[in-house]
Amino acid sequence: MKGYLQVYTGNGKGKTTAAFGLALRAAGAGLRTYIAQFVKGREYSEHRTLSRLSDVITIKQYGNQFFLYRDPDPEDIRIAQKGLEEVRQVMLSEKYDVIVLDEADIATYYNLFTVEDLLELIHTRPLVIRRLPGKAVSPILNNNPTINEPAFQDLCRGKCKWGAPL
């Protein structure tokens, strides 16, 4: 099965909600979704709602949000890196059709894992980049997997070679 990489970015609210909407649409189409939430470490109301669809949507948290008020400690890093490895295993299993990496970019910002670790994870499963509508992510090229989109600049923090194959 070919994958599609969708990136929701921007200031303010709506990115996680958009990803959860994708999970709901996938569930309606009979697809299974795995949602990995990095940084977040408590239950939100959407968890209670999505738990009713636990046969097709799995949500796991790999974070302790309290470090946002202090520097991350070794336990924060361990939890996030454990999550990265669990998601890698999930991707390799091909048990899920949709995989959401919520706040993964924030985890790289706080050095819970590196951008290179995240890109390696993304490469775990073959992807086709899909052009997304909207101002946040514009000309991602169909059938030409490259990183040349400004929306990836924050993710890559200058460590990506623009135009290099994904």
pLDDT, tens digit, for every residue of 90-126? 988 889 888 888 888 888 888 899 888 988 888 777 6
Residue 54 DSSP class: T
The secondary element (H helix, E strand) that includes residue 112 is none
Question: pLDDT at residue 165 above 50?
Answer: no
pLDDT on residue 62: 93
Find all residues with CB under 8 Å of 111, minimum gap 6, and list them: 72, 77
Per-residue confidence (pLDDT) for residue 127, from 0 to 100:
53
Please give the residue that has the higher pLDDT: either 161 or 48: 48
20-53 tens-digit pLDDT: 888 898 899 888 999 999 887 767 777 788 888 9
Mean per-residue pLDDT of the chain: 73
What pLDDT shows up at residue 60? 93
Domains of the chain, start order: 3-156 (3.40.50.300)
pLDDT at 143: 34
Burial of 89 (0-12, 13-18, 19+ CB in 10 A): exposed
The predicted model scores a pTM of 0.73
44, 130, 158, 161 from 99: Cα distances, Å: 19, 15, 25, 25
Q: φ and ψ at 97, to 5 degrees?
A: -90, -30
- pLDDT band of residue 146 (cuts 50, 70, 90) is very low
- The reported pLDDT for the residue numbered 68 is 67
Rounded alpha-carbon distances, angstroms, from residue 129 to 21, 24, 50, 139, 140: 20, 21, 27, 10, 7
Residue 32, judged by CB atoms within 10 A of its CB (0-12, 13-18, 19+), counts as middle
Percent of the chain with pLDDT over 90: 18
